[in-house]
Amino acid sequence: MARKLLSPIFLGVFTVLAIFFLTGGADDDKDELRQTFQVNAVYYDTGHVEVAFSDKSEKTDSVVMEILGMEETYQKTFSSPAFIEIVPFPGEPKYGWEIHPVVLEIDHPELGHVQLKTEIYQLGDSAPPVIYSRP
């Protein structure tokens, strides 16, 4: 019985947290992060995803980028305040880009450890929101 309830409870908690972050919960804390960090992940019909990251303060020590939901998770570490990474992607996923979130783990000397999460989107579509958090 408890096992049957675990999944719906987890899904409910996850949904509430996602809504909280997407609607700008604790906005004052996130404004500085929004003004400092930018990330974009675009799929091109030529079969690749371009992930671009920039830190306007230019003080980022390191960034670990992951693209989840792939057969083997794509992970790469960068030691610069900006990068553009081209990742081969054979085609649009059957169940949509939502199943392939792009997650960045950032170490910044002033802002501490910061996490960014966004989704890949097709060139020509509007960019999805970026979720900013500090664990």
Sequential pLDDT tens for the chain (135 residues): 444 544 444 444 444 445 455 444 555 678 999 999 999 999 999 999 999 999 999 999 999 999 999 888 999 999 999 999 999 987 888 888 899 999 999 999 999 999 999 999 999 999 999 999 998
CA distance 71 to 84: 22
Length of the chain (residues): 135
**Predicted TM-score (pTM) of this structure:** 0.77
End-to-end CA distance of the chain: 32
Looking at residue 67, its amino acid is I
CA distance 108 to 81: 9
CATH of span 39-133: 2.60.40
Tokens of 98: 């939502």
**In Å, what is the CA distance from 48 to each residue of 7, 41, 98, 107?**
34, 10, 16, 27
CA 90 to chain centre: 20
Question: Given its phi and psi angles, is residue 58 left (phi above 0), alpha (psi -120 to 50 degrees) or beta?
Answer: left
Question: Given its phi and psi angles, is residue 63 left (phi above 0), alpha (psi -120 to 50 degrees) or beta?
Answer: beta
Q: Structural domain boundaries of the chain? A: 39-133
